[in-house]
Amino acid sequence: MGAVGLRGQSGGDDLFEQRAARAVARHPRAARVRRGARRRPRQPRRRRARRAPRRRRRGGLRALGQSAALGRLAVPLPARHAPGSAVGALRDQGRAGARLVAALGGGYFKTSYEADLALVDTRLRRVALGALVVALLVLPRFASGFVLDLVSQAAFAAIGALALNVLTGLAGQISLGHAGFLAAGAFTTAALVERGLVSPLVTLPATALVGGVLGLVVGMPSLRLKGLYLALGTLAMHHVVLYAAGEMQARAGGNTGFTIPPPRLGGLVFRGTVAWYYALVVLAALVLLLVVNLQRSRAGRAWMAIRDRDVAAASVGIDVARYKLSAFVWSSVVTALAGALFAYHRGFVSVEAFGFFVAVEYIAMIIIGGLGSALGAVLGAAFVTLLPYVIDALVAGVSPDAAQYYVFPAKFGAFGLLMALFLLFEPLGLVGIWRRVRNWFALWPFRHRPLRASS
């Protein structure tokens, strides 16, 4: 009754608040859970040097009254200008922009193993690939023989560049003897043709065997040599092969070279610009497909690990010696086959066609195109193949009489300048430029798109 009567009296709330205020005034402290001390048990009370100060005390000494606790102030009122809901999803799947992103998607984020293993993973890339195939098929109907020969040269260069890219771009083994492997394949074909073995079913396997043995021999020093010493070793192989080819050419009595007849497969004879155009484009596409799949295989991952750090690769169980030799053998086999194709395509083989400048051209292809990228090797091969004709046209436009004297020095200087510029300003090469352009178009609708209020 006393308690009830006290609460029922006038000023009961004031008496409660006064008692609470006096209790707080007697024990001023920071707002915290009540306990024996400010610090943890068995810790000194004083604050150590360079420690944060204690928390601030409570601002007011008035205790919360019963009327306030039970009144409308128990739950805070919302602000008058509270922010509203979001204007909408940034990429609404029902809008045309989202459908465009689905078509132009970059293909970076995979949701299944099937999508991760797909070679062509977006709709736009499939359409672009189909358009490229159709364009290559119908090109002979509209292009001249000169244009078809340029495309054939680019396809042939792409085969050799892809082989060198596996050795230098993936495995990290520097090679200046790429022209030597080409010469080995071409002169092996010439030697077999001189003995009456004209069929490609005989010459191509023999050329691949010679290239593989030569790659194994050259790859042996790579187990102990690195960097500049390995480059000098491959350059020595280049000169040895050219010396042997020159001796073979001199003993055959043809100081000007060997004549190679057109290859025959049954009743099919590869002769003419159009036939060689289709053959070289198809072979280049097959080598590109093989290199792309090889790059994603176990051997490709081992090569990239050796390229990054061979000691670390060996520490995780990769057989460094085995994979280095396999890179040399694989590259030399494909390059020797490219040399055989060169002999059949040109119909003539001479040692002068495989000078050191050919090795420089292939190094320029993989650096300008993008080291370590299969697409970069193809782009670099096309760029380097077309560059001399552009320089020839420019020099002839300035001085027609001096074109024959300045084309070769200008071409040599242009290769060196372009390699230096790409290494300094664009290490990813042409494929890096292509990826940035592709990503810009893939993100185009949303790169600077403002938010619109929902209706």
Domain that holds residue 217: 146-356
Range ranked top by mean pLDDT from 96-110, 342-356, 396-410: 342-356
In a domain, 310, yes or no: yes
In a domain, 253, yes or no: yes
Instruction: Give the per-residue pLDDT at 211.
Output: 93
In a domain, 184, yes or no: yes
Q: At what angle do helices 145-164 and 320-346 cross, to 10 degrees?
A: 160
> In the chain, how many domains are there?
1
In a domain, 233, yes or no: yes
In a domain, 188, yes or no: yes
Q: Which of 186-200, 376-390, 440-454 has the lowest average pLDDT?
A: 440-454
What is the C-alpha to C-alpha distance for residues 182 and 337, in angstroms, rounded to an integer?
8
Share of the chain above pLDDT 90, in %: 33
In a domain, 439, yes or no: no
- The pair of structure tokens assigned to 252 is 């055959």
| Residue 231 pLDDT > 70 | yes
In a domain, 454, yes or no: no
In a domain, 164, yes or no: yes
Between 254 and 170, the more confident residue is 170
Between 186 and 52, the more confident residue is 186
Position 182, amino acid: L
Looking at residues 10-34, what average pLDDT do you find? Answer: 58
